[in-house]
């Protein structure tokens, strides 16, 4: 049984597990209460960030690396084109862009705006991060003008990666998506596996419901 520790970007991992039909359990990690009180989790990830997984003797962090691990170990799956497939380069690029180029950059904006002392909320670093996010997003916009999914006509794990980043920007960064990105997120989040992942990720579900009520 695979254990996923924490929601946040753990949503990507849970969504992938649902898409692949693999058995798992979600073990909540409450960052707001403080991981310093969660010795069991700190034994898994002493760096204290989420998500992490435990799969037998394997423990791992980094949501994209975890997805690559699960696909390599429990695939093959149509969620990951094979290296010789013409869709592979775009797949690989957007799988990583979703975190390195989008979510990780937006994270700086989100923590600055929501957690920084009042006077530091619109600091230079956060403004620069938002500008970088918008620039990186152009790659997504161009790709969506070419194909319905980021690696072509078929939904892949790259779409899990980028959908999470776009929804994170929208929900936590109050970022307004363009028409093409909004239509894309509506399309990807209509999948049964996405909906099941949302049912599992109760904190994420509650957060989304709270935003919808505002
Ligand atoms: N690149 C990492 C980012 C992980 C990350 O920043 N997680 C956030 C929540 S989604 C977190 O744990 N933040 C608290 C911290 O970094 O100490 C991944 O994709 O898993």
Residue 56 structure tokens: 């037998």
Distance CA 153, CA 107 (A): 29
How high is the pLDDT of residue 150? 98
Counting ligand 1 atoms within 8 A of each CB, the residue from 41, 50, 64 with the most, and so the one to mutate, is 50
pLDDT digits (tens, 9 = 90+) for 27-86: 999 999 999 999 999 999 999 999 999 999 999 999 999 999 999 999 999 999 999 999
> Is the CB of 63 inside a 6 Å radius of any atom of ligand 1?
yes
- Strands 24-27 and 52-55, bridge-based pairing: unpaired
Distance CA 123, CA 202 (A): 32
> Is the CB of 104 inside a 6 Å radius of any atom of ligand 1?
yes
How high is the pLDDT of residue 214? 80
Residue 139 structure tokens: 């790659």
- Separation of 47 CA from ligand 1 center, angstroms? 10
pLDDT digits (tens, 9 = 90+) for 106-164: 999 999 999 999 999 989 999 999 999 999 999 999 999 999 999 999 999 999 999 99
Residues whose CB is less than 8 angstroms from the CB of residue 69 and which lie 6 or more positions away in sequence, other chains included? 53, 58, 60
How high is the pLDDT of residue 45? 98
How high is the pLDDT of residue 77? 98
Q: What is the mean pLDDT of residues 91-111?
A: 98
Three-state SS for the chain is CEEEECCCCHHHHHHHHHHHCCCEEEECCCCCCCHHHCHHHHHHCCCCCCCEEEECCEEEECHHHHHHHHHHHHCCCCCCCCCCCCCHHHHHHHHHHHHHHHHHHHHHHHHHHHHCCHHHCCCHHHHHHHHHHHHHHHHHHHHHHHCCECCECCCCHHHHHHHHHHHHHHHHCCCCCCHHHHHHHHHHCCCHHHHHHHHHCHHHHHHHHHHHCC
> Is the CB of 50 inside a 6 Å radius of any atom of ligand 1?
yes
Distance CA 15, CA 118 (A): 35
């Amino acid at each position: 049984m695979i254990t996923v520790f924490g929601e946040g970007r753990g949503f990507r991992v849970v969504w992938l597990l649902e898409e692949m039909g693999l058995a798992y359990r979600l073990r909540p990690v409450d960052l707001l209460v403080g991981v310093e009180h969660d010795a069991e989790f700190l034994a898994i990830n002493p760096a204290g960030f989420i998500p992490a997984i435990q799969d037998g003797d394997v423990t791992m962090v980094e949501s994209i690396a975890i997805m690559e691990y699960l696909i390599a170990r429990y695939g093959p799956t149509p969620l990951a084109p094979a290296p010789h497939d013409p869709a592979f380069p775009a797949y690989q690029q957007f799988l990583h862009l979703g975190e390195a180029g989008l979510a990780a950059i937006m994270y700086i904006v989100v923590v600055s705006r929501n957690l920084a002392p009042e006077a530091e909320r619109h600091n230079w670093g956060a403004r620069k991060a938002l500008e970088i996010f918008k620039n990186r997003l152009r790659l997504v916009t161009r790709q969506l003008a070419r194909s319905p999914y980021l690696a072509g006509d078929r939904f892949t794990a790259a779409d899990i990666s980028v959908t999470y980043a776009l929804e994170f920007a929208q929900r936590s960064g109050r970022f307004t998506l363009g028409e093409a990105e909004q239509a894309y997120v509506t399309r990807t989040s209509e999948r049964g596996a996405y909906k099941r992942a949302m049912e599992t990720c109760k904190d994420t579900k509650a957060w989304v419901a709270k935003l919808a009520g505002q």
